[in-house]
Amino acid sequence: MNRLKFLLLVSCGITGLTVLLAEPVFAYVDPGTGSYVLQLIIAGLVGFAFTLKIFWSRLRVFFQYNILKRKNPPGGPKGEDE
Amino acid sequence: MNNGKEGGSFRDPRGFIFFSQGRLYRQVNAGYRDEYDRLIKSGLYEELVTSGLLVEHEEVDPSLAGSGQAFKVLRPRMIPFVSYPHEWSFSQLQDAALATLAIQKLALEKGMSLKDCSAFNIQFEGCTPVFIDTLSFEIYRKGEPWVAYRQFCQHFLAPLALMSFRDVRLNQLFRVYIDGIPLDLASSLLPLRTRFSFSLLTHIHLHARYQRRYQGETEKPRIRKSMSLNSLRGMIDNLETAVKGMRWAPRGTEWAEYYQDTNYSPEGLDIKERLLGEFLEGVSPGTVWDLGANTGRFSRVAVQKGHYVISFDIDPAAVERNYLQGRAQRSKNLLPLLLDLTNPSSGMGWGGEERMSLSRRGPADTALALALIHHLAISNNLPFERIAGYLSGICDSLVIEFVPKEDSQVRRLLVCREDIFDDYAQDKFEEAFSRYFQIERSEKILDSLRTLYLMRKRG
């Protein structure tokens, strides 16, 4: 999970360098459009990260379960649920 | 209220809250029929109510409707006391945010989505957050981004980040910005290190920038891309991780160590507790406002006597500790809230009626003003007469502790200032309060110099 966080940090850090300073908005018109567009822009990234997270979590549960099943007698601790 | 309509219930054309014969109802207009049917038939309503995330309701006779467009009339379970985000501690706002995201996740599973993410849609029953707006659900449209994303960031993520990374008192910005903290303001106030967190960089800093970039648009931008359900879930998951990752630890503020720093011995505090318990047996169970509750030791005495207690304090650290303790105990009858009694919450929003002032949310059946009078009269220069007048407007019965000038806590308040308080004396206190209240009992608190009074409002 730390690796995933690191990769996310690097990819977003690069994007973030261009936006280090947000400029003030003085006219408070409906800001819904910006929010709408931003979601479409980050959709791929958050979708990919989420898929990876679920995959990683399932993989971990699978290995933990199999390893623990071998190490511990029935009734012992089981892998954490997703 | 407006013709029975609740003052804050006008934004959504698909329904509104109204009062009839002292009961609260929610009208569902015909325009919300499809969404309401989906909410019920998909099992989402039942699942949310069972998990304690949504306030339950019963459908009543539509002839009770407040206007002619009614499709259904609902009678929701009443929340004992309405509170607002600027009155919550850090963990209360955090729990409210997590409850909102949990609702959105369940809604997506059932083919629905939250269209409204206002923090004002969450209320606390004791120490448990619950969503109150049954009409905030819409049918999920494939490929569409989350319509309430902006509101979630302004109402939850930005204030939590400001409280966690800058100053816990910044939740008071809610008193100015009723639709959440503007993201450009949050972005400019947050420290540089928040720009190195993916979630905060995206959902606050970049979000603020995109709001600015598209603020003048008159048409929806033509972007061919859509947002898959997986991406939407990913974004909700990312917001949840961001909210869970934020921390604020109460320590070393004004009152955090107060119980260790009074002129009471441990035995003295026990005696005060017993005396308060006796006094409370003389009033019928109802709502108690504990004004200046600190971490809620005496509020819990009132809870044990069967009252629903709003445990107010001015110190965010005390309220946070009180809430965390109440949450651990799953307290249903104790609600810790932040309040500066010298500047209590006023009416907010359109016509000053969308959100109620503190006094409009009263009166309480009983108010407790323990170890409070010297802070009001000496720290805030309030004459006894003004204090008694105000308290008589917010409660029917009053348990109040008089703290004399010889008390160590009063002496401390006078260390660095001239004593201009010639009228600060017990006989003057009784005289002023007797104009508004009938003094029913007064007892010296053993092991201290203080006196506890039980009073009832005159007339």
Angstrom distance (rounded) from CA B190 to CA B176:
18
pLDDT band (50, 70, 90) for residue B108 = very high
Angstrom distance (rounded) from CA B454 to CA B437:
9
Q: Is residue A52 within 8 angstroms of chain B, CB to CB?
A: no
Q: How many residues does chain A have?
A: 82
Pick from A29, A32, A47: which is nearest to B230 by CB? A47
Would you say residue B9 lies in a domain? no
**Nearest C-alpha of chain A: how many angstroms from B245?**
13
Mean pLDDT of chain B: 92
pLDDT at B110: 97
Angstrom distance (rounded) from CA B168 to CA B213:
30
Q: Is residue A2 within 8 angstroms of chain B, CB to CB?
A: no
Would you say residue B8 lies in a domain? no
Least confident of B99-113, B246-260, B281-295: B246-260
Would you say residue B23 lies in a domain? yes
pLDDT band (50, 70, 90) for residue B374 = very high
Beta bridge partners of B455: B398, B439
Would you say residue A11 lies in a domain? no
Query: Which residues 8-47 on chain A approach chain B with CB closer than 8 angstroms?
Result: 8-9, 12-13, 15-16, 19-20, 22-25, 27-29, 31-44, 46-47
**Nearest C-alpha of chain A: how many angstroms from B284?**
48
Return the residue of A nearest to B210 by Cα: A34
Q: Note whether A36 contacts B221, CB cutoff 8 Å.
A: yes
Angstrom distance (rounded) from CA A65 to CA A80:
9
pLDDT(B436) > 70: yes
Provide long-range contacts, Cβ within 8 A and 24+ apart, for B416-421.
Answer: B421/B377, B421/B378
Regarding whether B176 and B109 lie in a shared domain, the answer is yes
pLDDT at B66: 66
Task: Assess contact for B332 and B126: CB atoms under 8 A.
Answer: yes
Task: Assess contact for B143 and B228: CB atoms under 8 A.
Answer: yes
pLDDT at A12: 52
Q: What is the pTM of this model?
A: 0.88
Q: What is the pLDDT of residues A1-42, one digit of tens each?
A: 566 566 555 555 544 443 444 443 433 335 588 999 999 999
Contacts of A24 in chain B (CB under 8 A): 184-185, 188
Would you say residue B360 lies in a domain? yes
Q: What is the pLDDT of residues B312-347, one digit of tens each?
A: 999 999 999 999 999 999 999 999 999 999 999 999
Q: Is residue B227 within 8 angstroms of chain A, CB to CB?
A: yes
Q: Residue A17 has which token pair? A: 């360098």
Q: Note whether A47 contacts B210, CB cutoff 8 Å.
A: no
Regarding whether B187 and B313 lie in a shared domain, the answer is no
B231 in helix, strand or coil? helix
CATH (domain of B432): 3.40.50.150
> Could you tell me whether strands B364-369 and B395-402 are parallel, antiparallel, or unpaired per DSSP bridges?
parallel
Would you say residue B423 lies in a domain? yes
Report the pLDDT averaged over residues A45-56: 94
Contacts of B149 in chain A (CB under 8 A): 35, 39
Q: B57 is in which domain, residue-wise?
A: 15-76
Q: Is residue B230 within 8 angstroms of chain A, CB to CB?
A: yes
Contacts of A27 in chain B (CB under 8 A): 215
Q: ipTM more than 0.85?
A: no
Would you say residue A36 lies in a domain? yes
pLDDT(B223) > 80: no
Q: Is residue B208 within 8 angstroms of chain A, CB to CB?
A: yes
Q: Note whether B221 contacts A34, CB cutoff 8 Å.
A: no
Contacts of B147 in chain A (CB under 8 A): 32
Regarding whether B376 and B348 lie in a shared domain, the answer is yes
Angstrom distance (rounded) from CA B32 to CA B381:
54
Task: Assess contact for B24 and B75: CB atoms under 8 A.
Answer: yes
Regarding whether B148 and B263 lie in a shared domain, the answer is no
Would you say residue B290 lies in a domain? yes
Number of domains in chain B: 3
Q: Note whether A31 contacts B211, CB cutoff 8 Å.
A: yes
